[in-house]
């Protein structure tokens, strides 16, 4: 068989074997597509997010007010940050996933 005829089959096999979790948190739930382009979101270390009087203070110094539309509900007990390229040092967040508080 001619090698060029094999290319579509090889490409399809590679696509189907690629990880389906590109937009997923470690616990398997999906990040919103508006926050993540397949590499921007990650589970944040607990110490990286502090609740203050004015909003969520990130370890980079960025403050996200409680009323900010970038705040999303986390579907697990962890904070998740979405930053350009998943760069934890970035001063700009696309979204911040916040866990529910225990009552």
SS3 string of the chain? CCHHHHHHHHHHHHHHHCCCCCCECCCCCECCCCCCCCCCEEECCHHHEEECCCEEEECCCCEEECCCCCEEECCCCCCEEECHHHCCCCCCCCEEEECCCCC
Look up the pTM and report it.
0.75
pLDDT in tens, 64-92: 999 999 999 999 999 999 999 989 999 99
pLDDT in tens, 19-60: 444 579 999 999 988 888 778 999 999 899 999 999 999 999
């Amino acid at each position: 068989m001619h090698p060029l005829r094999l290319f579509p089959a090889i490409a399809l096999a590679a696509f189907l074997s690629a990880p389906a979790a590109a937009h997923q948190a470690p616990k398997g739930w999906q990040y919103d597509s508006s926050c993540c382009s397949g590499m921007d979101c990650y589970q944040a270390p607990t110490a990286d997010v502090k609740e203050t009087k004015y909003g969520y203070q990130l370890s980079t110094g960025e403050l996200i007010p409680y009323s900010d539309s970038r705040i999303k509900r986390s579907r697990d007990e962890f904070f998740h940050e979405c930053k350009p390229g998943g760069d934890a040092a970035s001063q700009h967040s696309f979204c911040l996933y916040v866990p529910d508080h225990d009552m």
